[in-house]
Amino acid sequence: MGRRGLQGTAMSTAATPSPSTAETTDGAGGSGSASGPSILTLTMNPAIDLCWEVDRLEGIGKNRARVRSVAVGGGGINVARHVVRLGGRATAFHTAGGEVGLRLNRLLDEEGIDHVAVDIDDETREALVLFETQSHRSFHIVPPGPRLHRREGERCLDVLERFVAGSPSYVVASGSLPAGLPDDFYATVARRVRRAGSRLILDTSGPALPAALAEGVFLFRCNRTEAESLTGHPVSGFDDARSLNERLLTTGAAEIAVTTLGALGALCSTAHGHTELHAPPLPGEPLSDAGAGDSMVAALTTRLAASEDPVSACALGVATAAAAMLTPSTEPFDAEVARSLRSQVRTARRG
């Protein structure tokens, strides 16, 4: 697998196919139609995550670091990676700019992730993950990233629409938007995805969120911070999450609302009611929650694409998020651990 998408400079008025565009590649252990992937993820502001480790950070003198890993990050790319890890099939749609963008494409090719790159003028960002081995603390340092021109945003939408026309079951829009894109960018994505007959799963924050919810999406996943930005007050437990989820459903913002509550678990709400999903006890020390959200969305989407009901799919999502907390920084979770934790997720129906 590798890049099989449309690319070219951001100045182009039409996208130029790469040599592998006409080839159909198969996901690892997944299923999907020959005309397109079952899951397409969207990452408008990806990054290369440089993960270093030190024994202990010192305030004076040099800190000698060891390179732990170098990998491509960004919400949608992480989701695609984890979908494949769980046996599904996914293609990652993303921007790429400058020398860092070239390296990003190369790393994805080497990792075997099926992806679609759209070139932009500005440089793709690099992020630093610093892991302190003595304390088991992780520090994720993330710059804002590139600024996209209006025409680059429009071109991304046009190329995305051509790929959505291949009828993926689900499109996952995850992560922040780069500077320069309008606040209604995800709302436009929602309209185009709906028009193509696919379902949009949204996991984002910031100014783009209200406009997207006003347009309406199939499923919206938010954490406590995002939930509080929508409600204007702390969301500390299941009752707070239920108030938010009810509002999202009754206003048509989402057909399914999932609010995650950290160590408590998550609340999954549909037209049939609300279900509390209580997080399983961790079989080890939590090391980082940096990849928990993306891991959950990946598991949830993978099971929905396999026609599983939302509550059951969400239960695997809660288990997978727990498994992700057992790994330092943004390193991948253990799929077997995630599956073993699934049976320990307690559910409670609340009407």
| Residue range(s) defining the domain that contains residue 269 | 6-46+75-121+147-349
Report yes or no on 171 lying in a domain.
yes
Q: What number is the average pLDDT over the span 191-197?
A: 95
Task: Tell me the one-letter amino acid at 309.
Answer: D
**How far, in Å, CA of 85 to CA of 30, rounded?**
10
DSSP letter string, 96-120: EEHHHHHHHHHHHHHHT--EEEEEE
Q: Is residue 137 part of a domain?
A: no
Which long-range contacts link 23-28 to residues 24+ away (Cβ below 8 Å)? 25/1, 25/114, 26/1, 26/89, 27/1, 27/83, 27/84, 27/88, 27/89, 27/90, 27/114, 28/84, 28/87, 28/112
**Edge-to-edge strands of the sheet including 137-141?**
66-73, 47-54, 125-132, 137-141
Number of domains making up the chain: 1
Q: How many CB atoms lie within 10 A of CB 56?
A: 10
Residue 203 annotated among the catalytic residues of the structure: no
Q: Name residue, tokens 């696919």.
A: 198
Q: Looking at residue 348, what is its pLDDT?
A: 96
Query: pLDDT tens-digit profile of 70-96?
Result: 999 999 999 999 999 999 999 999 999
Does the pLDDT value for residue 58 go beyond 60?
A: yes
CA 103 to each of CA 48, 76, 108, 176, 331: distance values in angstroms, whole numbers, following the listed order: 8, 18, 9, 21, 19
Indicate whether 54 belongs to any domain.
Answer: no
Tell whether 51 is covered by a domain. Answer: no
Close Cβ partners of 106 (under 8 Å, ≥ 6 residues apart): none
> Residue 252 maps to which CATH number?
3.40.1190.20
Angle at 229 between CA 223 and CA 177, to 5 degrees: 75
How does pLDDT run across 321-351, given as a tens digit for each residue? 999 988 876 778 888 999 999 999 999 998 7
Q: Is residue 184 part of a domain?
A: yes
67 part of a folded domain: no
pTM of the model: 0.88
**136: in domain:** no
Instruction: Evaluate whether residue 313 is within a structural domain.
Output: yes
| Residue of 49, 114, 203, 294 marked catalytic | 294
Provide the pLDDT for residue 205.
93
Q: What is the CA radius of gyration of the chain?
A: 19
First to last CA, the chain: 45
Report the SS3 class of residue 207. Answer: coil
